[in-house]
Amino acid sequence: APEFDRSQWTSVKEKLGLDFPNLPYLIDGETKITQSNAILRYIARKHKMCGETEEEIIRVDILENQLMDFRLGLAKICYNPDFEKLKPEYIEQLPGKLKLFSQFLGNRKWFVGNKITYIDFLAYDILDVHQMFQPKCLDEFKNLKDFLDRFEVKFTVVYA
């Protein structure tokens, strides 16, 4: 944010009544939340986007943790001083990891079924990041590419 002055945050963060003062945060009436995934889940619960059946909820739980592991794997090499040495092995293993996501999605419109859930936002984000990291990584996974396209149409993803 070009016009952002750090003091705009530091001068108020201890006065907001947040358990763990941090960015991002959400204040919704008396509800005060920090941590992006906690905020995402709160919003999802309010809008019934967490899965409705036990099977859907289990799929959400499984995929959420799998996506976090996937994100952590990329972060570990990206923030490693040996990034250039580690990158080829990561790229070599990437198709196998993406194949699992492709199989999990199957022929569903969204990862849980026909209704979007918050997990689709997480999946979109990490798949899009991997596509930026390795542009052709999704070429052999039509259903994952179609998922990204559907998401972008639904939410009009625009890059500045």
Q: How confident is the model at residue 87 (pLDDT cuts 50, 70, 90)?
A: very high
Q: pLDDT (tens digit, 9 = 90+) per residue, 50-71? A: 999 999 999 999 999 999 999 9
On whether the pTM is more than 0.75, the answer is: yes
In the predicted structure, residue 159 carries a pLDDT above the cut 70: no
Residue 12, CB half-sphere, CA atoms under 13 Å: how many? 7
Q: How far apart are CA 153 and CA 156, in angstroms?
A: 5
Query: What length is written for the chain?
Result: 160
The pair of three-digit structure tokens given for residue 49, joined into one six-digit string: 């986007």
Amino acid occupying residue 74: L
